[in-house]
Structure 1
C-alpha cells in the first residue's frame, strides 16, 4: 500500500525527541507490514539533519514555507493568536506544494502525526482512509499550565493561559474531526478526544518502545554495577514542563533524600538544560547536569532508580516506560505515570504528587535490590513491544493489513 505520512519531524536513530522516536518506530512497523511510505515534513534545519541520518531509504519530501515579508508578519501574529498551530507560512507551503499533491493523489492511505499536521488530511479526499496520530491532547496540556499559573497567582500568566485554553478548545475539535480515525496512546487521551469531538472514531494503542532487534540483551545482561544510590531524571530540557519538574525535584524532594542518604547522587540527563538547573547543581548537593547523552542505555545501566517528577504536560511519558523497560525502580508523579497501567488498572510503581511522600519513595527505591524491577520490566517489554504494536495497528486500522501493488 502507498502511504503518505505527514509529520512535524523526520526521525532518525538517536533522535532526542520522544515523539520522534515513537514516529521512527511507527514507520518501521509500517515497513514491516510491507507498505511504501512517503514522509512529508516542513523544511527545517532539524529535519534536514533527520533526512541525512534516517535509517529508512524511503521517500521524504521536505516543504519550505512561504518566506515573503507579508507571511512573516502573519507568522508573528499567529504566534500570539494561535501559538499551538504550525506557522501559517509553513501551512501555506505544505498546502500549495505540487509534489505533496501528487503524492496524496497516488496514495492509498494518508496519516498525520501530531495535531498540528491534521489540517493536511482535508486534502486527502475519500475514498482514501485517513488517520490522525495524536501524540497528546493539547487542551489537557494547556489546562494544566493554566492551573500552574493560578497556583503561582501570576496574573499575566493567567490571562495568557486562559487565552490559550480558549483558542485550543475552539480549534482542536476540527483537527480531530479531520480524520476517519484518531489514534492516541492511552485510554485517558481517548476519552479526552471523544469529549472534544464527538463524531471522531478514536482508538488507543500502546507505543512501540521495545524492539528485541535493537535491545537484544536479556534483562540485566551487561548491566554495570550501579553507583550506590544513584537516581536519574531523563528529559528534554528545552521543554518548560521538564525544567519545572527538575526544579521541583531539586527544591522540594532532593534535600530530604540527601538527608536520609548523604551518599545519594542524581543526574539530570537531557539536551538543552538551562542555567537555572546548573546553578542548583552546586557542589555538595550530589546533583549532576549532563546535557545531551547519545546513548541512554549507558545512563540506565549505571542508575539505581529513575524519577519522573512531572506536574504538567500531556500524553504518555515515554521516559517512564524507558526506565521500566530496563528494569529500574521508578517513582513518578500522577502526570509522570499517566496512561501507564496493567490491564487491572494497577500502576506497577509508586505514584505521588506530595513532596515528602515522593522523597520517601525515592529513598526506598534507591535502597532496593538491583533485580527488584525485573517482573515489571518483563511486563513492560511485552506491552510496549514493536511486535504487539504492529499487531494492534492492523486491528485498529484494518486497511493497514492490506498490501496493494505500488
Structure 2
C-alpha cells in the first residue's frame, strides 16, 4: 500500500514541533504497513530529516505544474496526506482529479485560523475573531478532505462549536510519546531554558515577553540563575535577546533539543498566543524538566492543572519555587510524567491512526456523499484555485 505525504516544507524534527509531527506520522504509517512517499515543492534545508534512512521515498514536485498530474497518476497512492491546508489548496484538486479513489487526509498540525486570531487579538487588544480570512481557507480545506487529523482536543471542540464540522470528518491524533525510564536529578541541573524555532512567531513573542516582563523578576530573586534561550533560525534576533549582564543568554540553535534541555532545571514556556500542542512542553516531559507554562502553552495538554498561570507574578512565583525547592521540583516532575503517560502514550496512539484511516477508507464513498458542503466546494470554490493554478502555469510557459 502506497501513501503519499505532501509537505509544505521538508520536515525538521530537530527544529520544529511540526517536523516532529511529520516524523510521528511517518512512523505510525510505516508501522501500519504503508510504503511512505514524501514530496515537497520546497528546497531541502540542511537540518531536514534523512528520509532515505527511514526507507521513505522522496520526490521533488512543483506548484502550478501539470507534470504533477502525470506523476501522481502513475504513483496511484491509496492515501494522500496534506501536511497543512495550504498544501491541500495547491495539490488537493489535482489529487482528486487524477487519483479520485485515494483517501485525502489533511493534517492541520495546529489550527492556523485560531493562531492568527489570537495573534491579532494580542496586537490590537480587540476581541478574538475566529471567522477571519485564514478560517475561510482552512475550514474549506477541512470540508474538502475525507478526514482531518487534529492534534488538540480543544481545537476539535472549537471546530464543532464554531464551524459546525461533522465529527466523522475529524480524528484526534496527538503527539505519541515514549518516555525514557530516567532523567538527570535536581542537583545535576542548573539554570532555566527557553526553546523554540524563531520561524514560528509565537516563540519570538514568548522570548521577548520573557526578557521584558518575566526574567527581570525571576532574576531579582535568583541573582545567580541564568536563562539560556535556544532557537533555530533566530540569529537576526540575537542582538535584542542576548543580555549576559542580566543573565539572559541567547544560545542559538540546539543541535539536540532533548540532550540540551536535560541539563536545565526549569523549562520556561511563556507563550501568549499560538495553537496546537507545544513541542517544548513535550521536550520537558521527555527530559523530566518541569515546565512553567501559560494557558496557551498548556492547551490540549494540561490546561486545568493548578500549575498553569496567566499572570506574570504567578509564573514568576512558580519558577522560583521549582528552582529552589527540591520536593516541589520532584513532585512536579512526577505529575508531569504521569500526565504524559496517561494521555500521550505512543503504545496507545500509534495504532489509533491506522484505525481512523481504515475506517475512513471503508466509509469513504458514504462520507463523501453525505458531505454536501465538501462536494459544493469542490464544484465551485476549489475550481477557482484550479483555474488560477492553470493560468499561472500557462503564463510561466
Structure 1-normalised TM-score?
0.78
* C-alpha contact 1:177 1:197 (8 A) present in aligned 2: no
* C-alpha contact 2:278 2:297 (8 A) present in aligned 1: yes
* C-alpha contact 1:5 1:113 (8 A) present in aligned 2: yes
Does residue 355 (structure 1) correspond to residue 355 (structure 2)? The answer is no
Is the partner of 2:4 in helix, strand or coil? strand
Taking the aligned partners of 1:197 and 1:39, their CA distance within structure 2 comes to 32
The 5 Å alignment of 1:39-58 reads: 39-46=38-45, 50=48, 54-58=52-56
Deviation at 1:54, TM superposition (A): 4.5
The 5 Å alignment of 1:202-281 reads: 202-208=170-176, 210-211=177-178, 217-220=180-183, 225-227=188-190, 230-281=191-242
The 5 Å alignment of 1:123-142 reads: 123-124=95-96, 126-142=100-116
The CA RMSD over aligned residues, in Å, is 2.9
Does residue 397 (structure 1) correspond to residue 357 (structure 2)? The answer is yes
Is the partner of 1:336 in helix, strand or coil? helix
Aligned residue pairs: how many?
Answer: 353
Structure 1 residues 137 and 367: CA distance shift in structure 2, 3 A = same
* More helix as a share of residues: 2
Which one of 52, 57, 65 corresponds to residue 93 of structure 1? 65
Structure 1 residues 352 and 378: CA distance shift in structure 2, 3 A = closer
Structure 1 residues 381 and 93: CA distance shift in structure 2, 3 A = farther
Does residue 183 (structure 1) correspond to residue 154 (structure 2)? The answer is no
Taking the aligned partners of 1:51 and 1:251, their CA distance within structure 2 comes to 35
Is the partner of 1:335 in helix, strand or coil? helix
Structure 1 residues 135 and 31: CA distance shift in structure 2, 3 A = same
Structure 1 residues 323 and 58: CA distance shift in structure 2, 3 A = same
Structure 1 residues 51 and 251: CA distance shift in structure 2, 3 A = closer
Deviation at 1:292, TM superposition (A): 0.5
* C-alpha contact 2:152 2:172 (8 A) present in aligned 1: yes
Does residue 322 (structure 1) correspond to residue 268 (structure 2)? The answer is no
Query: Which residue does the alignment assign to 1:170?
Result: 136
Taking the aligned partners of 1:241 and 1:274, their CA distance within structure 2 comes to 16
Q: Which moved more, 1:291-300 or 1:383-392?
A: 383-392
Taking the aligned partners of 1:393 and 1:376, their CA distance within structure 2 comes to 24
Q: Which runs of 5+ in 1 are unaligned?
A: 65-89
Which one of 145, 148, 158 corresponds to residue 119 of structure 2? 145
Query: Which residue does the alignment assign to 1:294?
Result: 255
Deviation at 1:374, TM superposition (A): 2.8
